[in-house]
Chains A and B, each alone.
Chain A
Amino acid sequence: MFLCIKSVGMPGEYVPIDYIPVIIVLFVATLIGLLPLVMGVILRPRRPYPLKLSPYESGIEPVGEPRYRFSVRFYVIAMLFVVFDVEVVFLYPWAVAFDKLGLFGFIEMMIFIFMLLVGYIYAWEKGALEWD
């Protein structure tokens, strides 16, 4: 079995053995997610008619398109999210190695955060974080 391969081989032969249980958990979770659906097919009734299958709109006939234009603010938030989430991703390895990096690493990271803060303050001033 592939479990016999230890994770200390040559660099090219690295088998992330710790992650096999993770894959098993994800597999079991998928099974638990799908099982009720499969069981449900056998158990539940199926009596559709057009009115039942129309989208819910408080009891009246659906008016207009369901996917209409939405506020551009959502888009701005998504853009800001990408920037800040990348920042968070950079912060994690830095935090793990904080003791080794010492003062130099700390100042370095503060400069990085400061540059992001400039963009953050700009976005705030421009009203990207306001909802009206």
Chain B
Amino acid sequence: MEILWTFIKVFIIVNIVMLHVAYAVYFERKVIGHMQARLGPMHVGPHGLLQPIADGIKLFFKEDIIPSNADRPIFYIAPVIGVVAALGSVAVIPFWRGFSIADINIGILYILALSSIGTYNVILAGWASNSKYSFLGSLRSSAQVISYEIAMGLSLVGVIMLAGSANLSDIVEAQSGGPFIVSQFIGFFVFLMAAIAETNRAPFDLPEAETELVAGYFTEYSGIRWGLFFMGEYTGMFVMSALASICFLGGWHGPDFWIFSHVPGIVWFILKVYAFIFFYFWIRATLPRYRYDQLMSLGWKLFIPLALVNIFITGVIKLL
């Protein structure tokens, strides 16, 4: 019986997350549209509100083109791996006090592990497509993602040291006195940049650099399979935003005065997550794409030493 309830709970939460993911695409188009003095989608429904649904239906009815020399089984499963890896991370995220699907004590490790598995969809898709653009895109992406994964892992060590736990709920509880961003601003900066590179977003979207690689690793994908890649990417953005708000901005904690103390925790959490999502779109509209050598040397020569320095400083301050 208990397992059935968990099942229903999981199903509802995962579907709510999927709804947010679908509307993140709409949100992105609106935000970037307005930043470029356009209106964004306007025709389907009032202010284009039904646009994500129309897009989804369209993708279902599109032909699924599989190149004749593609490696079929791998080509089939690659997009699914991305979706599973991104959605699976939702399991450990604490949405409000005492509520997460699975309250495991290695929450951070679990999310990092799944984000590494997410790399597989990129490299398998690029390899299986048997196309030059896909191959180059997947090579670039795998090198980029593994480089920034180190920086990301290191940047979270400071947070774990302060909280004394890798459980995400414990980390949020440890921030009741004030968010970790105050003492961990170096870690926060490194984490934010690494998260953008990890989810292959602009300005680090080299793997899909439209102007030179067409679409990178998913050049050969079409229809709903292509849609699954986007689903995975946007869910990954949500997971990274949630992780950033849990580890650095205090998750469900809000300002504790006046009427703000009566606002439920989930509202604060969602507000913080959407602030990060907005930040993602904002820099996409603002910054040009990096060059590949700049990207790699930024990751290896700046972010990794910075994160190590952050660990050292945190350790010294904690010991004093």
Give the interface of A toward B (CB within 8 A).
1, 3, 18-22, 24-26, 28-30, 32-34, 36-37, 39-40, 43-48, 50, 52-58, 62, 66-68, 70, 73-74, 77-78, 80-81, 84-85, 88, 91-92, 95-96, 98-99, 102-103, 106, 109-110, 113, 117, 120, 124, 129-132
Most buried by A among B62, B296, B308: B308
Q: Is B260 at the interface (CB under 8 A from chain A)?
A: no
- B92 contacts A32, CB within 8 Å? no
For the A-B complex with A66-B131, A113-B312 known, give 20 more contacts whose Cβ atoms are closer than 8 Å: A1-B1, A21-B6, A21-B10, A22-B91, A24-B7, A25-B90, A32-B14, A36-B227, A44-B63, A46-B64, A48-B65, A54-B68, A55-B131, A57-B133, A66-B134, A95-B166, A110-B312, A113-B308, A124-B301, A129-B300
Partner-binding segment picked from B28-36, B79-87, B175-183, B265-273 = B79-87
Interchain CB contact (< 8 A) of A66 among B11, B90, B102, B130? B130
B114: nearest chain-A partner, CB-CB: A26
Interchain CB contact (< 8 A) of B166 among A96, A109, A110? A96
- A131 contacts B296, CB within 8 Å? yes
CB distance from A46 to the nearest CB of B (A): 6
Interchain CB contact (< 8 A) of A57 among B63, B131, B146? B131
Can you pick out 16 interface pairs between chain A and chain B where the beta carbons lie within 8 Å of each other? Answer: A3-B2, A25-B101, A30-B84, A33-B83, A36-B228, A37-B80, A37-B228, A43-B60, A44-B63, A44-B223, A53-B67, A55-B220, A88-B153, A96-B166, A102-B319, A129-B301
Which interface class (under 10, 10 to 19, 20 to 34, 35 or more) fits B? 35 or more
- A3 contacts B3, CB within 8 Å? yes
**Cα–Cα distance between A132 and B315 once the two chains are bound (Å):** 37
* Contact residues in A for B304 (Cβ distance below 8 Å): 84, 120
**Cα–Cα distance between A19 and B228 once the two chains are bound (Å):** 26
Give the interface of B toward A (CB within 8 A).
1-3, 6-7, 10-11, 14, 18, 60-69, 76, 79-80, 83-84, 87-88, 90-92, 101-105, 108-110, 127, 129-135, 139, 142-143, 146-147, 149-150, 153-154, 157-158, 160-161, 164-166, 214, 219-220, 223-225, 227-228, 292-293, 296-297, 300-301, 304, 308, 311-312, 315, 318-319
- B84 contacts A33, CB within 8 Å? yes
CB distance from B78 to the nearest CB of A (A): 11
- A44 contacts B61, CB within 8 Å? yes
- A129 contacts B65, CB within 8 Å? no
Interchain CB contact (< 8 A) of A74 among B11, B108, B143? B143
Interchain CB contact (< 8 A) of A30 among B11, B80, B142? B80
* Contact residues in B for A1 (Cβ distance below 8 Å): 1-3
* Contact residues in B for A95 (Cβ distance below 8 Å): 157-158, 160-161, 166
- B147 contacts A18, CB within 8 Å? no
* Contact residues in B for A40 (Cβ distance below 8 Å): 60, 64, 223-224
Interchain CB contact (< 8 A) of A25 among B10, B83, B108, B297? B10
* Contact residues in A for B102 (Cβ distance below 8 Å): 18-22, 25
- A98 contacts B64, CB within 8 Å? no
Most buried by A among B101, B102, B296: B102
CB distance from B161 to the nearest CB of A (A): 4
